[in-house]
Structure 1
Amino acid sequence: MFDKTYRQRLEADLAQWEADGVIAPAAAASIRHALPPLSPGINIAVVVGIVGGLLIAAAFLAFVAAHWTEIARLLRFSILLAGMVVSGGLGAWFAATGRDVLADLCASIGVIIFGAGIALVGQMYHLGDDFAGGMLLWSSGAFAAAALTGSRGALAVALVAACIWTCMRVYDAPDNLHLPFVLVWLIAAALAFAWNSRVAAHLVALAAIPWWVATSLRFDFHGDQPSFVLANGAALLFGAGLAISAAPSPRAQRLGSVLSIYGAFSLAVAAFLEVTTVDDLVRLRTDTTAAQPPWAVVCGVAGVALALASAGLTRRSGEILAACAIGLVLLAAPLWPASAGGEPWFAYAALLCAMLCLVVSGVLDDVRPRIAAGWLGIGGVIAGITWAVKGSLLRRSVFLAVSGIIAVVFASVLNRLLPRAAR
């Protein structure tokens, strides 16, 4: 949870507890005194300064591009180098005066100019047309700047360039897994861990998705189902996030919680895609087999194992249900070809149960994003089942009605078994 939101909720709770006589005024004052000061937020002046800096950077690049052919080569290179030096110098000055947001912005502008310099110098000296290699060079420089300055913006630029690089490599060599990106991603995750930054954790979690999407789409040419490959990736991201957040380190807990949130939403999206793509609502392939590459299956199994390991460490019943949700989504893949002669009712049931487990898991662990992901998954799976192309709509309505009755009965049983405080 964000610090400011937490402070507001804590302040309201302290005021209520003090009014109810639960704690003494001296105890409430002691709690407030023990809290560290909040970091300064982004005010209107900082926002205007950020917009102004971006406009200046855009004007600089547009001016250089407009007069590129009229400027001598050495002067072109000098202009690009001066842009990086000026942005770095301003960033150092802002950092020394405590204006961290503006310092981060200057570092981001510097790495953007660095990327523009790679493209323009390559065009100027007619270097090789390996665009993906240029993206890797840009990403490497941005990573170096991020590591040296702690700039979240530079990390974002580095990850965007790295994602473009890996997508291009996957397109150029569809028969091989592009594993070098995994090493790059781990470096970014290490930076997010070292910084203990939630923003960096969000960037790292987002960067994992393009690699899985590009990799799963390339397997479409081999008769594999992309949605099943994506489900394995979501399982690994979800399970690994839960396992990392189970560590005693606050840094690991922050990073793991963010990864698990993105994993939960990715799992819900994968469940929706399984229904809509396998049942031909959206046609992605012509093969009727629901094959999966072995390495992807291993990733999915590892996600389930990591989620169970996390549940064993934290003793949270919600994480056991999260592991069940992951396993049920993965189980839907082998259930589909088993129902090749008709509609895959067992696969539908597995996906609905998986999303219900995800919702209940979030409720038990009090993790609202997990609850939201589960509800979105339930809505997506029901919509996919209802609007699937093949099969009888009447049979589907009966299936949904029976599923609803089972869910109501299950809710009644839980209501009797759980203590009143946990309901």
Structure 2
Amino acid sequence: MASYSSRVRADAARWASSGLIDGKTAEAIVLDVEAHERRSLSFGSILAIMAALLFGAAILVFVASNWEAIPRVARVGALFAIIFSGYVGGAALKLNDHAAIAEGVWLIAAAAFGGAIALIGQMYHLSGDETQAVLTWCAGTAVAAAALRSGPLTIGAVALAAAWLFLREVDFWRDTDFPYAFIGIAAVLWLVSYWTDSAASRHLILLSLVFYAALLAVEHDSDLVGIAAVLAAISAALFALAVVMPEKVERIVRLGGLLPVHGLVGFLTGMIMIQFEVADEDGAGFAIAAAIALAGIVAAVVLAGRDSRGLRWIAYSGFAIELCMIYVIMIQDMFGTAGFFLAAGVILGLLALAIIRVEKRMREPRVTQGAAA
């Protein structure tokens, strides 16, 4: 498969030959795309980061094996030597234009920091539980990410924060309070992601916030519908802002135009939770919630689906889930399975026809303007 720059080069040549752009503009477009592509991760860079993750996993497993034969001071000293040499050596590699290898070495140092926390806590029987260790690991990784302006370390810090949220809520070890502090942690990591220019971290933070809202709704079971409705409403509002004023919103969130995708994920999560909660209570309530969810899916595809394949796939998956829920909860006893699929096929066909007509009308002004120019 041709690379992105190769496709742009071919397109730019075609546009220039068609008179849509001049030769200088075509050359500038190609040079800009190639410059940005060179700064992206290559296959070798990905392998280097994967190797670093394997080394990090080896360190953690080595610590977990409880190596009693080595003196305590030697164990701690070895881990801190790995941490120091990893961060300093990675900085030296970064200065010598070996950015990918540097990021991998920093990940090894971050893994060694986590191993050091576990080992010291084990050796000296420090008070606290595993969730506190994970939170400390997250804080240390976030500080390192900010100091080194490392995108992969920022992603690691966000992943550790999400792990802390999960472990804290599911109460693997003891009865704990709900981790309300995750909102503040997410806000700090969001600011760090701006400094390190890590859009992937912001995507992960938004998904973690949806997960946080779902856990909060389960925690406060008596008000589950209200919390889920707030999640759906906020997500729909963010989606609307991203569609109405995309440039202004993108300058703030810097998500590569993918905020509508997160808005749809949050909206569907909230609506599905509402439907599960009211399914056994009120058939009319479930029908209203299902209608709102389906209307939201159609609106998302019409308003933002044309330019986002990911959003379309999420919308189609959500639509399939909604159909299954409607069948199981509402019409299983009203129609046979064949009748349900027939009705679903008719609905899907009409929906596809409507979307095609809307997208065609949305494209017409652009074609007309291009011809006039």
- Whether TM-score is above 0.5 comes out as yes
Tell me by how many angstroms 1:113 deviates.
Answer: 1.3
- Alpha-carbon separation, structure 1, partners of 2:236 and 2:288: 24
Q: Is the 8 A contact 1:50 1:102 kept in 2?
A: yes
Code of the aligned partner of 1:16: R
Corresponding residue for 2:84?
Answer: 85
Task: Please report how far the alpha carbon of residue 149 of structure 1 lies from its aligned counterpart in structure 2 after TM superposition.
Answer: 1.1
Q: What residue in structure 1 maps to residue 279 of structure 2?
A: 279
Task: Give the whole-Å Cα distance in 1 for the aligned partners of 2:161 and 2:315.
Answer: 30
Is residue 280 of structure 2 the alignment partner of residue 348 of structure 1?
Answer: no
Instruction: Tell me what 2:105 maps to.
Output: 106
Seen in structure 2, the aligned counterparts of structure 1 residues 348 and 213 have a Cα distance that, compared at 3 Å, is closer
- Separation in 2 of the partners of 1:134 and 1:191? 21
1:97 aligned residue: 96
Counterpart residue number, 1:76: 75
The aligned residue for residue 381 of structure 1 is 322
For residue 258 of structure 1, report the CA deviation from its aligned partner.
Answer: 3.5
Calculate percent identity across the aligned residue pairs: 22
Pair 1:56-2:59 in alignment: no
> How far 1:182 sits from its partner (Å)?
0.7
Q: Where in structure 2 are there 5+ consecutive unaligned residues?
A: 368-373
- Please state if 1:392 is matched with 2:333: yes
Is residue 2:198 matched to residue 1:192?
A: no
CA distance in structure 2 between the partners assigned to 1:254 and 1:162 by the alignment: 21
> Any idea what SS the aligned residue of 1:77 has?
helix
Taking structure 1 as reference, are residues 401 and 136 closer, same or farther at Cα in structure 2, changes over 3 Å only? closer
**Which one-letter code corresponds to 2:300 in the other structure?**
L
**Size of the alignment, in residue pairs?**
357
Cα distance, 1:82–1:408 mapped onto 2, change above 3 Å: closer
Are 2:232 and 1:254 equivalent residues in the alignment?
no
Which residue in 2 is equivalent to 1:142? 141
Please report the RMSD computed on the Cα atoms of aligned residues, expressed in angstroms: 3.8
- Residues 261 and 370 in structure 1, CA contact (< 8 A), matched pair in contact too: yes
Contact in 1 for aligned 2:186/2:205 (Cα 8 Å): yes
SS of match in other structure, 1:208: helix
**For the residues of structure 2 that align with 1:236 and 1:47, how far apart are their CA atoms?**
36
* Residue from 34, 37, 47 that aligns with 2:35: 37
Which shows bigger deviation, 400-409 or 187-196?
400-409
- Quick one: structure 1 residues 418 and 27, their matched pair in 2 at CA, closer, same or farther if it must change by over 3 Å? closer
Structure 1 position 67, deviation (Å): 5.8
Whether the 8 Å CA contact 1:91–1:106 is kept in 2: the answer is yes
| Worse-matched range after superposition: 184-193 or 207-216 | 207-216
Question: Partners in 2 of 1:176 and 1:403 — Cα distance?
Answer: 46
* 1:197-208 → structure 2 map (5 Å cutoff): 197-208=198-209
Mean CA deviation greater in 403-412 or 181-190 = 403-412
Name 2:284's counterpart in structure 1. Answer: 339
Q: Which runs of 5+ in 1 are unaligned?
A: 281-287, 289-336
CA offsets, 1:12-34, max 9 Å, x none? 33122122233333442344456
The one-letter code of the counterpart of 2:9 is E
- 1:23/1:198 CA distance change after superposition, 3 Å: same
Question: How far apart are residue 141 of structure 1 and its match?
Answer: 0.8
Letter in 2 for 1:260: P
The match for 2:370 is none
User: What is the match of residue 371 of structure 2?
Assistant: none
One-letter amino acid of the counterpart of residue 150, structure 2: S
Cα distance change on mapping 1:191 and 1:124 into 2, 3 Å: same
What amino acid is the match of 2:327?
Answer: T
Partner SS state of residue 212, structure 2: helix
Q: Which residue of 2 aligns with 1:302?
A: none
Distance 1:358 1:420, change over 3 A: same
Note the C-alpha offset of 1:185: 0.4
Cα contact 1:359–1:373 (8 A) shared by 2: no
Residue 126 of structure 1, CA deviation: 0.8
Which of 288, 299, 312 aligns to 1:357? It is 299
User: Structure 1 pair 339/422, CA: closer, same or farther in 2 (3 Å)?
Assistant: farther
Does structure 2 retain, via aligned residues, the 8 Å contact 1:111–1:142? yes
Q: Partners of 1:180 and 1:259 in 2: how far apart?
A: 24
1:306 maps to which residue? none
CA distance, structure 2, for counterparts of residue 107 and residue 100 of structure 1: 10
Query: What are the residue-to-residue correspondences of 1:168-187 with 2, within 5 Å?
Result: 168-171=167-170, 178-187=179-188
Are 2:241 and 2:249, in contact at CA under 8 Å, matched by a contact in 1?
Answer: no
1:297 match: none
Q: Distance in 2 between matches of 1:193 and 1:242?
A: 23
Aligned to 2:312: 371
For residues 417 and 27 of structure 1, the distance between their equivalents in structure 2, rounded to whole angstroms, comes to 30
Q: Given the superposition, is the C-alpha separation of residues 61 and 360 from structure 1 closer, same or farther in structure 2, using an over 3 Å criterion?
A: closer
Q: Distance in 2 between matches of 1:239 and 1:175?
A: 33
Give me the whole-angstrom Cα distance separating, in 1, the residues matched to 2:19 and 2:256. Answer: 37
* 1:206, distance to aligned residue in structure 2 (A): 2.9
Higher relative contact order (CA 8 A, sep 6+): 1
Contact conserved, 1:359 with 1:372, CA < 8 A, in 2?
no
TM-score by length of 2: 0.78
Aligned twin of 1:305:
none
Pair 1:268–1:25, CA change in 2 (3 A): same
Output the amino acid matched with 1:255: L
Alignment of 1:113-128 (within 5 A): 113-128=112-127
Aligned match of 2:215: 214
Alpha-carbon offset, residue 407 of structure 1: 5.0
